[in-house]
Amino acid sequence: MLTLAIITAAVAAGATALPAPPAPGLHYAFTIAVTLADPIEQGIVDGRRKRFVPITGGTVSGPKLEGIVLPGGGDWQTIGADGLTIIDTRYTLKARDGTVIDILNPGVRVASPDVSAKLARGEPVGPDAYYFRTTPRMSVADGPHDWLRRTVFVARGIRNPDTVQIDVFSVD
């Protein structure tokens, strides 16, 4: 028993002495500006407010991708009184060269109850008033944009009254 305690203490001491590994880098890839229709409210389900926000179109611009957001996607939201909104979006992009790209973009938005209520009503709120992050994943056919399915992305969201801006970054 004593030997096990000594080994455990030595391992624990050694683990704290190691330097942290370097963090992966982030590189700006593109911004998706999504236009929205009015939300469709489902009501309270399992203690959380549920709603669907139709995506009507938009643009994609940036150093790695240019194009448009096709109408027909949506954002399924589950909003808690605790300020946590669980986001589950799915929509389609069309690159400038005509390539169609399917995007799944789950994430979270965290805000105070007051800020959450303003966002839900479509009122303007500065992006520093809440935390809005997503992890976009793309599906695309082989070709010039297949790098999208071979790359991990993280994104910062900004909710505007009638649009959502998603700034997408590739992870090294």
Residue 7 placed within a domain:
no
The answer to whether residue 95 is domain-embedded is yes
Domain membership flag for residue 3: no
153 within a domain of the structure (yes/no): yes
pLDDT per residue over 21-72, tens digit each? 999 999 999 999 999 999 999 999 999 999 999 999 999 999 999 999 999 9
Task: Give the pLDDT confidence score for residue 50 in this predicted structure.
Answer: 96
Q: Is residue 161 part of a domain?
A: yes
Which amino acid does the sequence have at 122? G
Whichever domain contains 87, its CATH number is 2.40.160.20
**Looking at the domain assignment, is residue 54 inside a domain?**
yes
- Reply yes or no on whether the pLDDT at 120 is more than 60: yes
Helix (H) or strand (E) holding 91: strand 84-95
**Range with the largest mean pLDDT of 36-45, 79-88, 95-104:** 95-104
> Is the residue at 12 inside a domain?
no
Asked, for residue 16, whether it belongs to a domain, the answer is no
d(CA 141, CA 123) in angstroms, rounded, equals 38
d(CA 35, CA 105): 15
What total number of domains does the chain contain?
1
User: Could you list the residue range(s) of the whole structural domain that residue 105 is in?
Assistant: 25-171
* pLDDT tens, position by position, 1-24: 555 555 555 555 555 678 999 999
Query: Chain-wide mean pLDDT for the chain?
Result: 91
- Report whether 35 contacts 163 (CB < 8 A): yes
